[in-house]
Amino acid sequence: MAVQRNEVNKGDKWDVEALYPTIEVWEADYKLLQGNKPRWPELAAYKGRLNEGAAVVKEALETLFSLDQRLTKLYTWAHLRHDEDIAATNFKSAFERAMALCHEFQEASSWFNPELLALPQPIIDDYLSSETLQEHRFHLEKILRVKDHTLSPDKEQLMAMAAKALRAPHSSFSALDNADFVFGTVTDGKGQEHELTHGSYGLFLRDHDRDLRKNSFTTLLGKYTQYENTLCELLSGQVQSHLFNTRARNYPTCLESTLYPKNVDPAVYHSLIRAVRDNLGKLHSYISLRKQMLGVDKLHMYDMYVPLTEKVDIKMDYTQAEDTVIESVAPLGNEYQNLLHRGLKEQRWVDRYENRGKRSGAYSSGCYDSSPFILMNFKGTLRDVSTLAHEAGHSMHSLMSNTHQPYHYADYPIFVAEVASTFNEQLLHQLMLDRCKNSEEKAYLICEKIEDIRATLFRQTMFAEFELLIHSFAEQNVPLTPQLLKEEYRKLNEAYFGPDATIDSEIEIEWSRIPHFYYNFYVYQYATGISAALTLADRVCNGGERERQEYLSFIQGGCSRYPVDLLKGAGVDLTTPKPVEATIEKFGRMVDQLQELLVVGK
């Protein structure tokens, strides 16, 4: 049974007290930053003055960044505390108030970009060439890039005011999914009962007890089916919020409204889907091998995650997992390794275990004024060790960016966010392979890496197709209904898993439990990210000091360049399909290698 939050050992919790030692200290900072209405007069003092010269623009920018930095610290503490126990009312209140204050700040600062863009071109040219504004030049260029999609000051203020209301579908889904849903218990093949939670679900799907897998699968997805109309309305509401922003800002499609500000060509998204679709045969071959090795007449969706080697099941306690992850990053040099060691071993970056009300899944978070923080629900599987490596990659990316960039360039773009995390997973995989004692362990690890690529490249591309589809429906005024979503999701599963998979009816509702569908075209970046990461990992591990330094420069770069350019500097070009195709080829070779070990080697 999952324990209550107050029963968790201090050493197993993240050190959020390093940000604010108590909620009373947070409240005092909140009141200080909130001030009186009208709020933030120090920023408002620059309104109408951006034509007065580069020095005034610099002062205005630095005031804006300083306030944003303080608000981000306030918000970070509140959201971390909220995710520890979503049902805790005091932290929920703090989180809601912090979000509300951030929305107010967006409203209060919404005048800046329109006023800057309204200046005559000669003045803008002078600012861009001014020595005074050189450290802010790229930030100004990003504002200028979206000039055609920036509204008048009064309309930008209205958009900022609407942002909080437009978050309602996502917030409601999160509360329902993480706090309200209780899945009860499931029985295994021996009739023993087990508590089913978000954390245990993944564990049970990997169990060799097929009854436990099936019962977990049908019970959990059955809960979502009971609420399919509500969940459909929530997802539809989120898509409509994306469509509202798209049309209000005069973008042709929701996809382009998301990609254009980041200078990512929509062709990257479409070529990813096309490259994966063209190579689904390699995934189908793996599904066929899985069916053969499990010895089943029908390969059900609840059979997709169980390891194919029963004699090997690598498990670690949390301390062993930390040690292994730290050892695995040796190719990145002593400084990187020592920083990670300090973070995991001394600074309590990680909130390790599941407790009642804790947010499901895993993530890395933090702010410019804090260490990184990792939320996870560690169960001791090799998958959990990989998750720790993954989130530690995010955390080190944040730490390096924060250390080497000023505040306004420290927050790295989402497009590159999954590269450093997946890169570290690959380093862990290589270390584990090097430690292999026999062919069975090797087969187990290769199967795990195949599963990583299947889940991160193929599955996330399937999600990307679904996300593009539902936004296209909304753009064409086609109502999103549970029946439509289930039918379309089933078609995608049939195409991706191929003829040897039995597409159970329960899988049709899976779309309703994917939180990333609320993130506005996020999931495709897992697929591009793993493609870039595997390419870069090979480059660093097989290269020399230059390749390592180019990679380290990438994770130190924050958002000081556009994301595609940051990756090009590290040695990978995602404007071509080559990294994706190379990853699929790697997947195919690993499937052949696994078949050699499991079938031919028998």
Active site residues: 391
Nearest to 308 by CA among 115, 106, 446: 446
Distance CA 521, CA 255 (A): 7
Residue carrying structure tokens 């292999």? 436
**What b-and-e string marks burial along 404-416, b requiring 16 or more CB atoms within 10 Å of the CB?**
bbebbbbbbbbbb
Distance CA 540, CA 570 (A): 10
Nearest to 372 by CA among 381, 363, 383: 363
Q: Which tokens go with 56?
A: 């005034």
Q: Which helix (H) or strand (E) holds 129?
A: helix 121-129
Cβ atoms within 10 A of the Cβ of 476, count? 7
Is residue 485 classed exposed, middle or buried when 0-12, 13-18 and 19+ CB atoms within 10 A define those classes? buried
The answer to whether residues 512 and 481 touch, using CB atoms and an 8 Å cutoff, is no
Distance CA 488, CA 583 (A): 27
Three-state DSSP state, 305: coil
Cis peptide before 38 (omega within 30 of 0): yes
Pairing of strands 193-195, 185-187: antiparallel
The residues near 578 (Cβ < 8 Å, ≥ 6 apart) are none
